Amino acid sequence: MIFDTIATSGHEQVVFCQSKDAGLKAIIAVHNTVLGPALGGLRMWPYKNEQEALNDVLRLSRGMTYKNAVAGLNIGGGKAVIIGDPAKDKSEALFRAFGRFVNSLNGRYITAEDVGIDVNDMEWVFRETEFVTGVHQVHGGSGDPSPFTAYGTMQGLMAALQAKFGDEDVGKRAYAVQGAGHVGMEFIKLLREQGARVFVTDINPELVKRAADEFGCTAVGLDEIYDVDADVYSPCALGGTVNEKTLPRLKAKIICGAANNQLANDAIGDELEKRGILYAPDYAVNAGGVMNVSLEIDGYNRERAMRMMRTIYHNVGRIFQIARRDGIPTYKAADRMAEERIAAIGKIKLPHMGNNGPRFRVRMRGH
Ligand code: NAD
């Protein structure tokens, strides 16, 4: 049954990890390593049962293959989950036990933070393996990725403006930004620096107030964000906000934001295409975070990071080209771009030449 599932989803390897003493139950899924070692975060969540955890790790690891491929990284897709409550079940032993399992894969899988995991947890994982990214800056890590994600989102936005309106003048347009959190607030700041009109909403009123007071945005209600007169709708909070209910209300001609899984389903992506609304695919636009951590592998450098973020402009532009070339919606074109790159690079990797494994620069362990 598991083999059938992973054969269908195309996974290379799924590792079940348990340590009774440490209370660890984890699953590591390596989806595809054609482009390089599988990189993807570790999620800790109180899954209802093992099947739910397995489904999640399979879905998320496959998503990382596509995201990393479109980002132009020499990195494959993977992900890990720990079954447990992040508020109650964390311990040094748990994360060190997990780290030992990661180490046993010898670089086929590289971990990072995801939902429920913070930089302090990663310190414990890092004690046991070097195959970790997202470690603290004091160890040569890359720190908070949010400003980079926001800057990358800006690059995706410019590609979308160019494709839709024939110019990249960010300041000329109006934006509906949903979510003024770590990425959203940085994004708002960049938009306002260019003089753009920005409508903003967030469930946290303090963040909305800050966006209004500090950056001069127009505050709107949580539900009102779908009705404002904006050229661009920018989801920077949760997924699934472009759906059957919200789509008829949107006046925007472009959807471009940092949130993951913005489209409720594929049919919505087809509908956007029909209505002439240009969707800049989320995982191409928000790749700044994974680009940033990937640079830790051969020595983190901020300038290289900023340079890499700018490639998002070309990646998103290329997706629009593929959509036109093949007459398909942009969400499908993003997947096609990933598949084409994996196929092309896979062909140049002849078996007798071997693969280049990750070569981490020496980083400092301990506090
Ligand atoms: P965050 O938690 O800092 O910000 C999210 C904000 O959205 C919060 O302020 C929250 O109050 C608000 N929010 C939640 N529900 C809302 C709703 N219904 N309406 C309006 N606001 C709502 O998270 P973040 O790091 O800024 O990430 C934002 C999104 O971008 C997430 O979907 C995340 O998965 C995605 N993303 C983030 C990064 C990164 O580098 N942080 C990278 C890639 C993708």
Cα-Cα-Cα-Cα torsion 318, 319, 324, 330, nearest 10 degrees, comes to -170
How far is 255 from 301, CA to CA, in rounded Å?
Answer: 31
How far is 219 from 272, CA to CA, in rounded Å?
Answer: 26
Question: Could you tell which of 238, 243, 295 is best to mutate to test the pocket of ligand 1, judged by most ligand atoms within 8 Å of the CB?
Answer: 238
Identify whether 274 is a catalytic site residue.
Answer: no
Alpha helices (H) along 176-280: 182-193, 205-215, 266-275
Alpha-carbon distance values, 95 to 24, 25, 59, 111 (Å)? 8, 11, 23, 12
pLDDT score for 355: 57
Q: Are strands 218-219 and 197-201 parallel, antiparallel or unpaired?
A: parallel
In terms of Cβ atoms closer than 10 Å to its own Cβ (0-12, 13-18, 19+), residue 215 is middle
pLDDT score for 230: 98
Which mean pLDDT values do the consecutive 10-residue runs of the chain (367 residues) have? 86 97 98 96 96 95 97 97 97 98 97 91 94 87 90 98 98 98 97 98 97 98 98 96 98 97 96 97 96 90 93 98 98 98 88 62 61
Q: Where in the chain is the domain with CATH 3.40.50.720?
A: 146-334
Ligand 1 centroid, distance to 235 Cα (angstroms): 9
Ligand 1 closest atom vs CA 145: 40
pLDDT score for 53: 97
pLDDT score for 4: 86
From first CA to last CA, the distance across the chain in angstroms is 44
Catalytic residue among 20, 25, 67, 79: 79
pLDDT score for 141: 86
Nearest to 15, CA basis, from 90, 101, 133, 115 = 101
Q: Where in the chain is the domain with CATH 3.40.50.10860?
A: 2-68+76-139
The hierarchical CATH code for the domain 146-334 is 3.40.50.720
Three-state SS annotation for 323-350: HHHHCCCHHHHHHHHHHHHHHHHHHHCC
Ligand 1 centroid, distance to 179 Cα (angstroms): 6
Residue 200 one-letter amino acid:
V
Output the ligand 1 site: residues, CB below 6 A: 145-146, 149, 178-184, 201-204, 207, 222, 236-238, 258-260, 286, 289
What is the pTM (predicted TM-score) of this model?
Answer: 0.92
Ligand 1 centroid, distance to 146 Cα (angstroms): 10
Ligand 1 closest atom vs CA 238: 32
- Give all strands of the β-sheet with 278-279 in edge-to-edge order: 218-219, 197-201, 174-178, 232-235, 254-255, 278-279
Question: Could you tell which of 146, 234, 243 is best to mutate to test the pocket of ligand 1, judged by most ligand atoms within 8 Å of the CB?
Answer: 146
Q: Are strands 76-83 and 42-45 parallel, antiparallel or unpaired?
A: parallel
How far is 127 from 100, CA to CA, in rounded Å?
Answer: 9
How far is 277 from 296, CA to CA, in rounded Å?
Answer: 37
* CATH class of the structural domain 2-68+76-139: alpha beta
Structure tokens at 23: 């209370």
Ligand 1 centroid, distance to 312 Cα (angstroms): 20
Alpha-carbon distance values, 247 to 133, 149, 339 (Å)? 37, 25, 29
CA-nearest residue, atom 41 of ligand 1: 146
pLDDT score for 352: 60
